[in-house]
Amino acid sequence: MTTHLEEIRRAMAEADCLASPEQVNNALDQMASAITAELADTNPLVYTVMNGGLIIAGRLLARLDFPLEISYLHATRYGHQLEGNSLLDWRVRPTQEIKGRTVLVVDDILDEGHTLKAICQHLREEGAARVLTAVLVHKDHTRKATPGMRADFTGLDIPDRFLFGCGMDYKGYWRNAPGIYALKGH
């Protein structure tokens, strides 16, 4: 166990900081302002995607000064090798009534976006009137589930590297790091 923790600590010590805690806070402030302008009068239901979205939701939702409901869901895709596969393995399904509601899905990162796309599709099929997405990080590359895919609300565009911090993890650790870091050499 000591060797494992040494590796985890070394990863942080050697990491490249791509977004400082101050830059993350500024991005969250901008996201909150845009979300407020769009959703303040809609009685939204906010779903946090576990586990990565937990940190972002906690930091973002505290900046929203309007009534909203909060819940969480946890889903992974079956058959990760199948591009665009929308079959979800629900660890925790959406539990609130969503028919006719505006739903905001909060996650840490939009990487390829297959799972986020499938979650949104499921929520629409369940009757949500409108489904919007918010992510702290948009990873810059062209391997998106849909060409040009972006979240409705994005904090930061970050290069295509192995990222951790602000909800993203390195071997299960460092989700709690206040900035966004890239693993050295990756």
Where exactly are the structural domains of the chain?
2-182
- pTM of the predicted model as reported, rounded to 2 decimal places: 0.91
Kindly report the average pLDDT of the chain as a whole number. Answer: 92
What are all long-range contacts of 22-27, with beta carbons under 8 Å and residues at least 24 apart? 23/156, 23/179, 24/136, 24/155, 24/156, 24/166, 24/178, 24/179, 24/180, 27/136, 27/155, 27/156
**For residues 59 and 104, what is the distance between their CA atoms, to the nearest angstrom?**
15
**For residues 143 and 154, what is the distance between their CA atoms, to the nearest angstrom?**
18
Classify domain 2-182 at the CATH class level: alpha beta
Q: List the single range of 15-29, 42-56, 79-93 with lowest mean pLDDT.
A: 79-93
Helices and strands per DSSP (H, E), number in the chain: 4, 9
pLDDT digits (tens, 9 = 90+) for 123-142: 999 999 999 999 999 999 99
Which residues are 71's β-sheet partners? 47
pLDDT at 84: 44
pLDDT at 13: 97
Percent of the chain with pLDDT over 70: 92
pLDDT at 85: 47
Q: What is the mean pLDDT of residues 21-47?
A: 98
pLDDT at 77: 67
pLDDT digits (tens, 9 = 90+) for 57-96: 999 999 999 999 999 999 876 544 444 445 677 778 788 8
Cα-based angle 75, 115, 164 (whole degrees, multiple of 5)? 90
